[in-house]
Structure 1
Amino acid sequence: MNRVGPADDDRVLIAGAGPVGLSCALFLTRSGIPVSVFEAESELPEDMRASTFHPGTLDVLEDADVVADLLANGLKCRQWQYRNHVTGACAVFDMEVLRGRTSHPYRLQCEQFRLTRAICSRLGDNRLFDLEFGARVIDATQNENGVEIEVERPAGPRTVRGSFVIGADGAGSRVRKAMGLDFRGETYPITSLTVAVRYPFDQHIEGLLSVNYCWTEDSHFSMMQLKDVWRVGFSPKPGQSHEEALQPERIQARLQEIHPKEGPYEIVHTGAYTIHRRIADSFRTGRMVLAGDAAHLNSPSGGLGMNSGIHDARSLCDKLAAIILDGADESLLDRYSRQRRSIALDDVQVRSDRNYRRHRVKGRKERAEVWDELQRVTGDRRLMTDFLMESSMLRSLEKAERID
């Protein structure tokens, strides 16, 4: 079927200019579909929440002309490890076993705001792309011909019409609420803390790789190397609130426990994140659809959240393009919901929860069991390949395509 150019009222409205919302804008405009993006903040947030791009995600983004920007601002991690920080013992996962299965046999360590910047730079003055800051989508309605959203702005409220609306507006999504969907799940009892540190840990801690999940005698932490800083993640100590744990003197003490040195560490960013495991009842109601954190939340352990959101964006936008440009039936969006909800529920949430619990295991016997399994997997190329196909999100993309 021949493609035809979209009419003015075929503009797709997108709530949220994070990695998922702007990925939707990128994919749609590249298909020739006009979009309007509405972002509540006054500028693109420089969020450190996510910092890993998995091979599956880089493959998804490959034909969108932004991977080169990410590579220029990131660090390729070809090996990563679980590590006993006391003894130095490690279980190393070698991404090289994925060569031939992906164009990107590595994890790319790069802050999520690098992607949003790259997308805005690529779209530039593209006539198909509108982005309005300080504009919060607070409600949405629909009929058989299109959608209307209510936008809250400093200059006053505004009503905007379009063909479809994508809710990529995060955990508190107003689009999801307008769809009347529950967001069932649970909140984990422990807050995740992140500190960005400017210090060459790799030059001072023997055996450190770019991505490290570490155990101490009674605790855990992670260390991720980015191009300019190290991202250190940990939980508050027993009895500490996250506010107490993020006091400057407490942060310095925690870093000194990891690597004692003379003088204080240079801290460039701190953050505290409540961890949820939640999912919407459906990702689609008529012409209103959800993607990313607006649709599903999971533990950040393993770096699956942003990546799965970008996978949502690609799957959704391919289907919207077929509907808007090729005249495909709108029921194609039901397949999007089935595919991506199934992956979020049965794959992403299960794996990230398993990672969360593996990182935090404390008992001597329990740790020994986990350690033996890690050694078994990393010692067998076939088992390691299977593990990395899952953790790198390559297999979840294959699974999604098999869902009708």
Structure 2
Amino acid sequence: MPFVVYMLGLAVFAQGTSEFMLSGLVPDIARDMHVSIPAAGLLTSAFAAGMIVGAPLMAILSLRRSRRRSLLTFLVVFLLVHVLGAVTTDFGVLVATRVVGALASAGFLAVALATATGTVAPNAKGRATSVLLGGVTLACVVGVPAGALLGQLWGWRSAFWAVALVSVPAVVAILRTVPAGDPGSSRTSVRGELGSLRDRRLLVILLLGALVNGATFCTFTYLAPLVTTVTGIGSAWVPAVLALFGLGSFLGVTVGGRVADTRPVPFLVTGGVALLAGWAVFAVTAGNPVAAIVLVFVQGTLAFAVGSVLISQALYAATGAPTLAGGFATAAFNVGAAIGPWVGGLSIGAGLGYRSPLWVSASLVALALVTAGGARLLRRGTAEPHEDLATA
């Protein structure tokens, strides 16, 4: 795998850390900025909204520039807004830095996916994708706890400084390793890339990605109260449980990268069924500590394995629009990450308890399987494995 792919993964690690680290910093930010905790929580919502809107928008804007220039622009903006966030004393400015940082992060990921898959062999897109997504999973395992620790030791601002510093090596690597003129890459017009996105296969894959990721984050968002109130695990063990889920997600991305280029459709069918069964079994056995701990790891592995393969399939399905495909895939997965917790919260608010998000997750995966099956019925005929998920 080319060195630049790993450096792009390092930048994605910094961006993933930024996206998730506020979960451990919100109380300190609220106290320092003299706002309520719910108001400080809007910083997370602002980043999510920026990712959803920014992924396709920034991808479109980047098409008229070289990938090197786009990557550098997005990453430097991301770095600078974290420096601004680390020094500002105005909460409104901090909110604005989160929105701008999310826009830059979304644009960077879209172009990075196109760049990474463009630097490897045509049949190695899945492995390149897994390296980038590995940065997100490592952010959950390492970056978020490290950000919380820095916040405890030196205040929440130190975590923002750390994200900015981690981004510096990636800036240097892009300057030195990404060609200025993108030789060998397919440079198409905005209209040409948008036209390629009308493929129904790609739309199905994006919908499946949103549903699967919605299921993942529905349970992940409420995992802490689930294991403390239903499973009976002490609150002191919650960080370890979250880290276990993160380790599973890293393993899943790694496994997904190895099969995405060879047998993606059989893996997605088998993995999807196993994911559905896992959420259902988790819901039934959530009161058993041993079963719950095992399933936290297993479901983290399955969810991110299936999700990473779906992202690679989006890139395979839209070879004529590599940048916009990455942008829309990023947006679709963030839509799932927003809708899943919302629906899970509705189930809890309806009095169904903290076990109910597990059933919601199972339902979303079931809907994904039904959608894939319906797409297959509507589109009969033969297709290459990388071309048509609906022929599974």
When the two structures are superposed, what TM-score results if normalisation uses the length of structure 1? Answer: 0.24
Which of the pair has the greater relative contact order for Cα pairs under 8 Å at 6+ separation? 2
Larger Cα-atom Rg: 1
Task: Judging by fraction of residues, say which structure has more helix.
Answer: 2
Task: Judging by fraction of residues, say which structure has more strand.
Answer: 1
When the two structures are superposed, what TM-score results if normalisation uses the length of structure 2? Answer: 0.25
